[in-house]
A and B are shown apart, each in its own frame.
Chain A
Amino acid sequence: MGQLVQQLINGLTIGSFYALIALGYTMVYGVLKLINFAHGDLFMLGAYLGLVTLMGVVVNLGAPASLLLLLLIFLIVMALVAGIGIVLERVAYRPLYQAGRLPSIVSALGASIFLQNGVMLLYGARYRTYPEEFKVIVPDVIWEIGGARVALIQLLMLVIAALLMAGLYFFVQYTRVGTAMRAVALDHDTASLMGIDVYRIIMLVFLIGPALGGAGGMMVGLYYGRIYFTLGWSYGLKAFTAAILGGIGNIPGAMIGGLILGLIEALATGFVSDAWKNAIAFFVLVLILIFKPRGLLGERVAEKL
């Protein structure tokens, strides 16, 4: 029983990471009908930028390691990744909106390769670790609940992720700009006829999505302590599975999808087989697309015949 609860908690934690990344995929797809293959790498960038900034500020500048500082650095990292996201859209995607699907896919793949190898060149091919010094920010406190062990850091990650997701949800549902975003996701032409600047909205999506992904990256770095330049690939595809599971284009769907996928993966690791855990995630993806392509909450994706 303790095993089960343990895996559930682990699952929720991993799940919230997937959810944060999935949101980026789903928002971009909702507004552009484009799969941003480079999104996973933006998440990976967040992990590296987080490391670099923390190192720079704490180790080199000697600033006092505190929770407040950590949150501040989160914001900085999110802003940096968001900036890169906007450049990405401008350079690799915008010129291709009229050119059809295939060139966009190749361009996205190219951008992904560029980012991955850029990071590899800058920071090395081996994995990097978030140094021990950071442990003082988040003390190694562990509680026992129902036979399972919950770490303070896990709780912290869950809280931050929840806040970010709640913030996004309210933004999208209850603000004018958020509504404009949903309008653009439904129909570009009608939205622009209603006076919405579609390109502005697209830019906004490429700001928020990567920001969330970047936050997720930094969280993964803090949580697991170890990061490598192929992080984007392994998390990216699974996060995309999560987005599809929830219904691509659907924001609450991405959140739910992420959590569910995290749970499935944790249960698979704990009770089935570690070697197959990725294959199980892909298998879930395939099954969903075959039987319920809309996902749990989403739109029609199959051809009408």
Chain B
Amino acid sequence: MGESSLKDLIGRLRKLDERYLYSILAALVVLFPWIVRSVRWIQVVNFFFVYALLGLSLNIILGYAGLFQLGHAAFYAVGAYTTAILSSRYDIPTFWLLPVAGLLSAVFAILISRPILHLRGDYLCIVTIGFGEIVRIALRNDASSLVFLSKIPGLQFLEEKLTGLVITGGPNGIFGINRPAILGFTFRQQWHYYYLFLAFVVFTVFAMRRLENSRLGRAWTCVREDELAAETMGIDTVRVKLLAFAIGAAWAGVAGNLYASWVTVIAPESFSFWESVIMFCIVVLGGTGSIPGVLVGTVGMVVLPEILREVLLNIQQWRMLLFGAAMVIMMVFRPEGLWPSQRFRRQLELAKEAVGSE
């Protein structure tokens, strides 16, 4: 059967001396901009990097801690808009804003997640969708739209302050964001950004690996498995869940900073529910909780459509339709994702066995 010979091939690939494979891979990755000289494709890979960061950040919340989060774009937006506003208005260098973006996203995440931590799976999902939409609407409406609040007795002074007040730039967003600059060098070309983003992704993968196998990582897994048992075994589940949200959000905020300084123009529509869906699918379709899974998922959700666009030009119209169908088909035939984490695969195998024996 095709399925098993593919598995054989992958098995053999995996057994090949890992270091050999990794060196080749590393060389390819480092030399990529020189090998593929097309600006367009380097740009595509840059998109891959940004979404990989977002996927990895969501993986902490969704994959490790098992918290259903379908509003992740909100954290991305906080980081991006913080960078955009402070950079375009006060001319602060974007690199300095990296920690600011991360910190603000984390604080925001803690504030909004604290009241909803007690919710069960699906409900948490819906609340996060709600939060995501509220953030997007707020960004689109801008501060001036809050003028109606001055109708409340006692708040008349707001009318003067809020009329015409522009913070987020409304539906058109913000332009003129500074490009990142360090020691006199400004990142301008796509291939400059390529190495910058690559460095971030490599660091992120490295850090995630360590988190995964740490005391905190184990705590997340326990909370995901059985929250009551985890709490009774001495794990502060509230703290652990808040940390998941905070760290996941901080990273998304950092991704937002990088994105803003890359495209230099941002608008609310880049942070819509659809974006959250993409991130969610990257994690689940790739393999929930698995780092290679998230990377593969990002390839599938971001790079593949671009490749298809080149190869099958007239597919454009049908792109989204096929996308939706592909999502359904993928889940029906491989619910554990493309590169599942060891745990999840075992869980599903045993679930299937249980059904089979009924």
* B162 → A minimal CB distance (Å): 12
Residue of A whose beta carbon sits closest to that of B141: A275
Measured between C-beta atoms, what is the minimum distance from B10 to chain A in Å? 21
- Pick the residue among B119, B129, B318 that contacts A302 (CB under 8 A): B119
Q: Take A118-B321, A276-B141, A286-B131 as given contacts and tell me if A304 and B121 are in contact as well, using a CB distance cutoff of 8 Å.
A: no
A96 at the interface (CB under 8 A from B): yes
Q: 8 Å CB contacts to A: which residues of B267-304?
A: 273, 277, 280-281, 284-285, 288
Query: In chain A, residues 223-258, which have Cβ atoms closer than 8 Å to a Cβ of chain B?
Result: 233, 237, 240-241, 244
A110 in contact with B326 (CB, 8 Å): yes
Known A-B contacts A101-B121, A286-B127; the reply to A106 vs B133 at CB < 8 A is no
The distance from the CB of B269 to the nearest CB of chain A, in whole angstroms, is 13
Q: A135 contacts which chain B residues (CB < 8 A)?
A: none
A104 to chain B, nearest CB (A): 8
Q: Tell me which residues across on chain B come within 8 A of A302, comparing CB atoms.
A: 118-120, 123
In the bound complex, do residue A114 and residue B228 qualify as a contact, i.e. CB atoms below 8 Å apart? no
B348 interface hit (Cβ, 8 Å):
yes
Which residues on B sit within 8 Å (CB–CB) of A244?
Answer: 123, 126
The reply on B134 being an interface residue by CB < 8 A is yes
**A273 in contact with B130 (CB, 8 Å):** no
Q: Is B325 an interface residue (CB 8 A)?
A: yes
Considering only residues 59-118 of chain A, those with a C-beta below 8 Å from chain B are 91-92, 95-96, 98-107, 109-118
A-side interface size class: 35 or more
Given known A-B contacts A96-B335, A276-B145, A304-B228, A102 and B133 have beta carbons under 8 A apart = no
Distance, CA A275 to CA B318, complexed state (A):
32
A305 at the binding interface (Cβ < 8 Å):
yes
B130 touches which one: A34, A99, A275, A286 (CB < 8 A)? A286
Contact status B318-A282, CB under 8 Å: no
Is B115 in the interface zone, CB < 8 Å from A?
yes
Tell me if B327 counts as interface (CB < 8 A to partner A).
yes
Task: Return the CB mask of A260-289 against B: 1 if under 8 Å, else 0.
Answer: 000000000000110110110011011001
The answer on a CB contact under 8 Å between A301 and B120 is: yes
Partner of B320, one of A96, A102, A113, A237: A113
Please tell me which one of the listed residues A100, A106, A237 contacts residue B280 in the complex, with CB atoms under 8 A apart. A106
Query: Do B119 and A289 touch (CB < 8 A)?
Result: yes
Q: Is the CB of B125 within 8 A of A35?
A: yes
**Residue B323 lies at the interface, judged by CB distance under 8 Å to chain A:** yes
A282 & B133 in contact (Cβ 8 Å cutoff): yes
**A290 interface hit (Cβ, 8 Å):** yes
Render B320-356 as a binary contact track against A, CB cut-off 8 A, 1 for contact.
1101111110111001000000000000100110010
A33 touches B335 (CB 8 A): no
Q: How far is the CB of B80 from chain A (nearest CB, A)?
A: 19
Residues of B within 8 A of A279 (CB): 133-134, 137-138, 141
Contacts A109-B277, A114-B321 given; does A282 touch B328 at CB 8 Å: no
CB neighbours of B140 from chain A (8 A):
275
Cα distance, A261 to B355, chains bound together (Å): 41
Identify 6 new A-B residue pairs, CB closer than 8 A, beyond the known A33-B122, A115-B324.
Answer: A99-B348, A99-B351, A117-B318, A244-B123, A282-B133, A282-B137
Closest 8 CB pairs of A and B: A110-B327, A114-B324, A113-B324, A103-B335, A99-B335, A282-B130, A110-B328, A117-B320
